[in-house]
Amino acid sequence: MAQQVFAYIIHKDGVPDDTALELIAAAEKLDPDASVTAVVAGDGNELDSVCNEVASSCAEVWKIENPALAYITAEALRPLLVSILPKDGIVLVPHDHFGMDLAPGLSIKLDAAYLPDAVDFEGFDNGELKAVREEYSGQVSTHVLSDISEGAVITVRPGSFKADERKRGEGQIIDKTDQAIEGSLPAGARRFLEIIEAEVGDVDITKSDILVSVGRGIEDQDNMEIIFELAEAMGGDVSCSRPIVDAKWLEKSRQVGTSGQTVKPKVYMALGISGAFQHVGGLKGTPFVIAINKNPRAPIFQVADVGIVDDILDFIPELTERINELKSG
């Protein structure tokens, strides 16, 4: 394939994000003959250390350096990428909060195909890429065919390609700043003000060994009681998935997931949680995962060690009662 493949590298505090090596692995799965070019934007020493680290994993690194990029926003970055990327380039971006901000508009400005949230690639032939996506929060998968012959922007789901840790010697670092930025960077129509850090809650679920985690299957706020009763019986803490926080039934600090907390318990009870990748992405370490869900197709059963197909509203009170009997007996 003559088309160049690019991986956009997200980084923080001078360290490449976990997705950096995943994108390089994805690029090689897309086209085993591709020499991958990493694209890194930022400023100063942090930018240099990211470029140096990434250079050991790919053929070439393009860097864009500017003080205004010390905190990168998608709106500021997009026109710079449009200035440097070739017309038929294939650009991989993580499907995370940054990629969702950057990538759809980038595909329009490059007049390229857009393939969102790819979890696998299954072959590239005659300008067409066959890829795997998921729909309905992972309940079903689809094969999609994308005409990428005139360029493409592809967002890749974090965690779906195994990071390629191989070192390939020193890739060349090429400074693309002059081509990307003419003169100074304008403030633009969307101006960064600040970051508001997550509030700390009354319970720190990141430190819990046992988490009793509740999702949409609880159906009603009045039913939340059975979750707290089970957690008390087990000696664990209550956490949750996103819909419970959206409904304001629990505080945000109890939410497990990419937009919430990253937890590493020994035992994780997923109760009425479907298991969207954003939720599972917050589960680290090697927890023993027990999923209880009335939908046998819930994606949570793919990541659980043990599954029970039942309605949590029926099952949980019985389980709690039995644990309490056991402890008092």
Subset of 57-96 contacting other proteins (CB under 8 A): 73-75, 95-96
Nearer to other proteins, 147 or 178 (CB): 147
> Does residue number 130 form part of the binding site for other proteins (CB under 8 A)?
yes
CB of 256 within 8 A of CB of 213? Answer: yes
What mask, x for binding other proteins by CB under 8 A, covers residues 133 to 172?
xxxxx-xxxxxxxxxx------------------------
SS3 67: helix
- AA letter at 253: S
For position 248 contacting other proteins by CB under 8 A, the verdict is yes
Q: Which is nearer to other proteins, 169 or 194 (CB)?
A: 194
Look at the alpha carbons of 158, 1, 33, 16 in this order and tell me if their dihedral is positive or negative: negative
Return d(Cα 27, Cα 148) in angstroms, integer. Answer: 14
Among 210, 307, 203, 212, CA closest to 267: 210
Nearer to other proteins, 64 or 113 (CB): 113
Give the range of 28-36, 41-49, 83-91, 311-319 binding other proteins by CB under 8 A: 311-319
Q: Does 185 bind other proteins (CB under 8 A)?
A: no
Read out DSSP for 270-318?
Answer: EES----HHHHTTB-S--EEEEEES-TT-THHHH-SEEEES-HHHHHHH
What does the block give as tokens for 95?
């499907």
Query: Which listed residue (68, 117, 173, 264) binds other proteins by CB under 8 A?
Result: 117
Looking at residue 265, what DSSP letter applies? -
Distance CA 120, CA 118 (A): 6
- What is the closest distance, in whole angstroms, from the C-beta atom of residue 139 to other proteins in the complex? 4
- The DSSP annotation for 8-67 comes to EPPEETTEE-THHHHHHHHHHHH-TTPPEEEEEEE-HHHHHHHHHHHHTTSSEEEEEE-G
Within 7-36, the residues that bind other proteins by CB under 8 A are none
Contact stretch for other proteins (CB under 8 A) within 28-36, 41-49, 161-169, 308-316: 308-316
- Beta carbon of residue 291, minimum distance to other proteins (angstroms, whole number): 6
- Residues from 199 through 238 that contact other proteins (CB under 8 A): 199, 209-210, 216, 233-236
Amino acid at 299: P
Report the residue from 205, 242, 250, 271 that binds other proteins according to the rule CB under 8 A: 242
CB of 9 to other proteins, least distance (A): 16
H or E element at residue 93: strand 90-94
Number of CB atoms found within 10 A of residue 267's CB = 16
Minimal distance, residue 132 CB to other proteins, in Å: 8
Q: How far is the CB of 191 from other proteins (least distance, A)?
A: 5
- The answer to the question of residue 6 lying near other proteins (CB under 8 A) is no
Interface with other proteins includes 49 (CB under 8 A)? Answer: no
One residue of 188, 204, 225, 284 binding other proteins per CB under 8 A: 188
